Amino acid sequence: MGKKIFLTLISVTVAIFFWYFVGEKAILKDNSNSFSKLQCVSYAPFGKDESPFLFDSGLVISEELVKKDLKLLSKYTDCIRTYSTLGLEMIPKIARENNLQMLMGAWVSKDEKQTKDELDTLIKLANENADIVKAVIVGNEVLLRGDVSDKKLYEYIKRIKEALPNTKVTYADVWEYWVKYPHIKDVTDFVTIHILPYWEDEPMNIHESIEHLASVREEVEGILKTSNILIGETGWPSEGRSREDAMPSKINQALFVRDFVKLAEEKNWDYNIIEAVDQPWKRVSEGAVGGFWGLFDKDRLDKNVFAGDVSNFPNYKYLAFGSILLIILFSLLLKNSEVSTKKLLQFTIINTLFAILYMLQVEQYNIIARNNLEGTWAILLLITQIFVYYFMLSHILKPKRIDVIPSVFFYLSAFFAFILSMNLAFNGRYENFEIYGFIILAISFLWLYSTQYEKLNFGKFEKALSLVLVLSSILIVYNETFLNIFSNIWVIIALIFAYILNKGAKNIGLCDLKQVSIYTLIFVAIFVAFKVGFVSNKELAIACNLDSNSLSCSVKDFMGASIYFGYVGLITIIFAIIAFVVNKKSFSIIALFLSIGSLILSNTFLGAISFMIAIYLLTKEDIKNLQ
């Protein structure tokens, strides 16, 4: 009994040390000489449950919120940058009350009427508030999005120049699009470029980011032959998924901003930091990372970006408590068990590791879950993981029982892993690597089944899933490169599940999957061609902006809306359920066709579920009308 208590105390000590280290020791120390005030900061006046998409539903921006925000920001900057005018007409007045100047932006989009209203309001507000408007920005990343042609944008900017002869006028876009469309400079008073090392096509890690930014600014200055450049957006996210070795974190955000401002002051650059406050609404279109670029969090609490010590786990004490609680509770399994020293050591190591991993996963879900659906997903996974955690420890104590973990938990885990792999393979830019809890699952099932594969008796369905997991892993590595440590860990997890599924289906050969493989390859080719040649065709998008009345443009707009709002995935899952009920081959083939389309067209969550249903129907033995 004494040995059990001693090892439990060791386990608790290790957990305490781990959380203390990551929370208190692995931190960015305060640099009181960093800077006094920022030149300018992007500001969007939305509360944590608000977004610009709610204006059509009657959203009215709270004047009280704007007053509190600008009073807070006035302590850290003398300027704010806005991106739209409609619904934000009170901002200039409140900015003046707080001695803030403005880079006033107007939102330019495909909607000509809305754009006209934006520009009309911009002219009105700029004239009325000339004393605080440093410059107006006509459009933000319009060319990047392909919302209007460069010729149309040129006309919009020229109109504002003529209407505001005494106000500086510019346009803002990522630096590559200024290089691509240099003639836009001819109609602006200065160039506004966005340099976001995290979002580059070739992402820069935190250690290379400042040098990269300086190099890009120098390159743009040389190409456009002007030094009159405003870095209109730069910054670093505090949370979210890594892109290659560009890793979001609270420490990295503070490190980037402090180092950048120091360099900008040395070089006498004009700049604007993105952004003032975390904007949760951006997580819908940009993934979790989109909501964490603020210098203050969604509740307007200081993230210590300017000064002070910064920890990636400021709430580490709560996480440590959770790990300790798990260790103690699961150690109760030892109470009436007679185990060898070897088994006791295995139990202690697994219990300690899983307790830390589980709380890391809880913390990640607490950050990344964007809505009720993702909250439900997180709860289901955490429940599965805690049960497998328990069953794994039970298996160590009673190793001869293969059924100590019910098979339903393996299938649930494999299905969850499959869905995530599909998300990462086909829509990975905005998806997260939920590795911590899946490490628990992968270790547990690999350990449990290591000598029991012959008892699994898997069939064609499991074999097919294993092959798709391998192929999706290759695609993930291609997308993410080996620089992304989180991606690499996920691929290992996916391959472990693929290995177990394949070993359990050792009696099934590739020839047994010939027919479904042919269908899959044909459908993939069709939808890849459709996506590249039609849905994502930039030339067609620009042509449609000039003349949207053609049939192809109408179809393109319809498909774009269906993909954006998730209708493709919804239709796919409905048909997959119908195919499951009808149980006919023709319906199953159509379900497979639609599911592959849903995956390739980025409705991956429901597409992955539908794909599994279709593959199950096409590989099970008793399907009706098989011939």
pLDDT at 35: 64
Q: For 489-532, what is each residue's pLDDT tens digit?
A: 999 999 999 999 999 998 898 899 999 999 999 999 999 999 99
Q: How many CB atoms lie within 10 A of CB 420?
A: 25
Helices within 398-511 (DSSP H only): 407-427, 435-449, 460-480, 485-504
**SS3 of residue 32 by DSSP:** coil
Distance CA 387, CA 258 (A): 44
Residues 6 or more apart in contact with residue 252 via CB below 8 angstroms: 206, 236, 238
Phi, psi of 166, rounded to the nearest 5 degrees: -100, 10
Q: Which two structure tokens, joined as six digits, stand for 145?
A: 């999005």
In the predicted model, is pLDDT for residue 285 greater than 90? no
pLDDT at 622: 45
Q: Which residue has the tokens 């393979």?
A: 425
C-beta separation of 4 from 344 below 8 A: yes
82: left (phi over 0), alpha (psi -120 to 50) or beta: beta
CA 147 to chain centre: 23
Higher pLDDT, 540 or 43: 43
CA dihedral 563, 567, 573, 574 (to 10 degrees): -150
Q: For 586-621, what is each residue's pLDDT tens digit?
A: 999 999 999 999 999 999 999 999 999 999 999 985
C-beta separation of 590 from 579 below 8 A: yes
- The CATH number assigned to the domain with range 28-291 reads 3.20.20.80
pLDDT at 401: 58
Q: For 522-539, what is each residue's pLDDT tens digit?
A: 999 999 999 999 988 878
Q: For 220-258, what is each residue's pLDDT tens digit?
A: 999 999 999 999 999 999 999 999 999 999 999 999 999
In the predicted model, is pLDDT for residue 201 greater than 70? yes
Distance CA 235, CA 246 (A): 12
Q: What is the pLDDT averaged over residues 293-320? A: 94
Q: Which residue has the tokens 């803030």?
A: 100
Distance CA 102, CA 448 (A): 62
3-state SS string for 318-335: HHHHHHHHHHHHHHHHHC
pLDDT at 554: 85
pLDDT at 314: 94
CA angle 450, 454, 456 (to 5 degrees): 85
**How buried is residue 292: exposed, middle or buried, by Cβ count under 10 Å (0-12/13-18/19+)?**
buried
Q: How many CB atoms lie within 10 A of CB 267?
A: 11
Distance CA 359, CA 116 (A): 51
Share the mean pLDDT of the chain: 92
Q: Which ranges in the chain are annotated with CATH 3.20.20.80? A: 28-291
State the pLDDT confidence band at 402, using cuts at 50, 70 and 90: low
In the predicted model, is pLDDT for residue 559 greater than 50? yes
CA angle 409, 414, 415 (to 5 degrees): 100
In the predicted model, is pLDDT for residue 34 greater than 70? no
In the predicted model, is pLDDT for residue 484 greater than 90? yes
C-beta separation of 401 from 395 below 8 A: yes
Distance CA 12, CA 220 (A): 55
